[in-house]
């Protein structure tokens, strides 16, 4: 197959959205398919390995139009004017109780950004990605296009290229669009996004997502079959497994990822640590490799467990995997909101391959929680008392040298290659149906397809 992958993020950019498509390109390339990629290269951390030939990746320009002057003029008419910044969208929850003038500015800013960034903050990529894609396709026409989102702008790019060149395309949702449990746009935007999502996906030959629950939501919304392809883990990226853990007096818990106040919040863990006797509290080390250090340290201070908590800078992808392998316990934070039921983070699959006990704090009936429970991979709880008791057991197991790796069955069938084989079959089936349909049509209509 000749496959064009459209993804805003791609290696060497070290962001979570680049990992799935980077590994997919590697898998398809190794399977003998002819792969090209349309992407950007903007992220400062460029430590994610590029695993296909560089000449197969077309990094486009990305020019974000400057509109700040307009919003600044409006803002000057509001009381207590301060400069607006259009680079970010999520407001700090601690800032929402400010003065009325500040609240008015924040409300205005939120609606303004919702108006100019449709479907998302990367909307301006269309202006450079579509011409670059057309140029690429004119010299090398793919048989099928695969687009991964978010950002959802990539789906618009793929849809336009597919329509212009009569190529079938597949939409991959690492996160949902309108049905995203973290959807934060103004209420009026949701109606617009719902219409746009329906129009963009109307001509898609296939839909893919990372969670069975999300797959069902997409089926209901669009009336199309949806293939579930888990994020999985890439065994080749991990260091060799050490089968046994040496006895030790301290328990190291590690968290690799982002912190969102009110969504992914370590406060329950800190509350559990605070319930431990002081001599056990001194044997807990919780390490966060994250950019949200202030939020973590503020929460630790609120529970008076600062001495047990350390915030460290993010590290390159494979270094992060090695740190996961070397931890005693791996922490996974999710929202406890039932709307997060279908969220199955990529990090969980890496944790399962590392075969270290997992502490999942979040929605206890969600699909991620069920995976941890069904595979006997750790504790799922939002109860500080239950977590305290488990910490005590882990501390004792570590001291006695019993904190061994989990059984290899915890990650069985979850490797990326196992998952990508399902996606490969989907792409091939789409092309087979297309060929079969063209053979049944009159010659003039078949020519339009081919």
The pLDDT tens digits for 6-30 are 999 999 999 888 999 999 999 999 9
Residue 97's pLDDT is what? 41
Q: Which residues of the chain fall short of a pLDDT of 70?
A: 65-102, 243-244, 438-450
User: So what's the pLDDT on residue 75?
Assistant: 53
Asked if the domains at 2-62+122-232+417-449 and 235-411 fall in one CATH topology, the answer is: yes
Unique residue bearing structure tokens 């998952």: 419
DSSP secondary structure string, 87-119? S--PPPGGGTTS-HHHHHHHHHHHHHHHHHSSS
Query: What is the reported pLDDT for 241?
Result: 80
Token duo for residue 12? 């060497």
State whether residue 325 is helix, strand or coil: helix
Residue-range domain boundaries for the chain: 2-62+122-232+417-449, 68-116, 235-411
In tens, the pLDDT along 33-78 reads 999 999 999 888 889 999 999 999 999 999 876 555 555 555 555 5
> Taking CA 332 as the corner, what is the angle to CA 328 and CA 334, rounded to the nearest 5 degrees?
165
Supply the pLDDT for residue 135: 97
Q: Can you name the residues that pair with 360 across neighbouring β-strands?
A: 332, 380
| Whole-number pLDDT of residue 439 | 60
Do 84 and 54 touch, CB atoms closer than 8 A?
no
User: What's domain 235-411's superfamily in CATH?
Assistant: Glycogen Phosphorylase B; (3.40.50.2000)
Which residue, 350, 392, 362, 357, is CA-closest to 266?
A: 362
Q: What is the CATH number of domain 2-62+122-232+417-449?
A: 3.40.50.2000
> Could you tell me which of 129, 131, 103 has the C-alpha nearest to residue 9?
129
Residues contacting 228, CB < 8 A, separation 6+: 208, 209, 210, 211, 212, 215, 422
The Cβ-side half-sphere exposure at 407, using a 13 Å CA radius, reads: 8
Looking up tokens 């977590």 gives 387
The residues pairing with 206 across neighbouring beta strands, listed in sequence order, are 170
**Which one, of 31, 33, 42, lies nearest residue 4 by Cα?**
33
């Amino acid at each position: 197959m000749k496959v064009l992958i459209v993804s805003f993020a791609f290696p060497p950019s070290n962001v979570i959205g680049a990992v799935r498509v980077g590994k997919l390109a590697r898998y398809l390339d190794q399977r003998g398919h002819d792969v090209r990629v349309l992407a950007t290269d903007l992220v400062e951390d460029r430590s994610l390995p590029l695993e296909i030939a560089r000449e197969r990746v077309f990094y486009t320009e990305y020019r974000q139009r400057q509109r700040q002057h307009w919003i600044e003029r409006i803002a000057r008419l509001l009381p207590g004017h301060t400069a607006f910044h259009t680079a970010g969208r999520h407001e700090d929850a601690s800032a929402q109780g400010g003065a009325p003038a500040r609240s008015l500015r924040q409300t205005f800013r939120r609606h303004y950004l919702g108006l100019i960034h449709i479907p998302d903050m990367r909307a301006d990529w269309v202006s450079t990605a579509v011409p670059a894609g057309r140029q690429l396709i004119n010299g090398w026409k793919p048989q099928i296009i695969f687009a991964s989102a978010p950002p959802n702008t990539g789906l618009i790019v793929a849809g336009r290229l597919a329509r212009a060149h009569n190529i079938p395309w597949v939409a991959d949702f690492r996160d949902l669009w309108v049905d995203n449990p973290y959807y934060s746009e103004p209420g009026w935007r949701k109606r617009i996004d719902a219409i746009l999502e329906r129009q963009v996906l109307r001509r898609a030959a296939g839909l893919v997502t990372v969670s069975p629950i999300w797959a069902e939501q997409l089926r209901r919304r669009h009336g199309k079959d949806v293939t579930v392809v888990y994020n999985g883990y890439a065994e080749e990226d991990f260091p060799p497994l050490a089968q046994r853990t040496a006895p030790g007096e301290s328990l190291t818990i590690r968290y690799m990822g982002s912190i969102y106040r009110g969504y992914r919040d370590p406060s329950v863990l800190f509350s559990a640590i605070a319930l431990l006797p002081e001599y056990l509290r001194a044997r807990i080390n919780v390490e966060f490799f994250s950019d949200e250090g202030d939020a973590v340290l503020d929460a630790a201070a609120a529970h008076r467990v600062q001495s047990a908590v350390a915030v460290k800078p993010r590290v390159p992808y494979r270094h992060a995997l090695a740190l996961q392998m070397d931890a005693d316990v791996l922490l996974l934070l999710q929202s406890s909101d039932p709307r997060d039921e279908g969220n199955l983070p990529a990090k969980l699959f890496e944790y399962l391959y590392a075969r270290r006990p997992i502490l999942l704090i979040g929605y206890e009936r969600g699909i991620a929680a069920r995976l941890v429970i069904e595979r006997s991979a750790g504790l799922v709880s939002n109860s500080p008392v239950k977590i305290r008791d488990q910490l005590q057991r882990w501390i004792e197991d570590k001291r006695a040298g019993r904190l061994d790796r989990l059984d290899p069955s915890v990650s069985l069938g979850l490797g990326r290659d196992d998952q990508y084989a399902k996606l490969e079959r989907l792409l091939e089936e789409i092309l087979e149906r297309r060929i079969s349909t063209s053979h049944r049509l009159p010659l003039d209509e078949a020519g339009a397809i081919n």
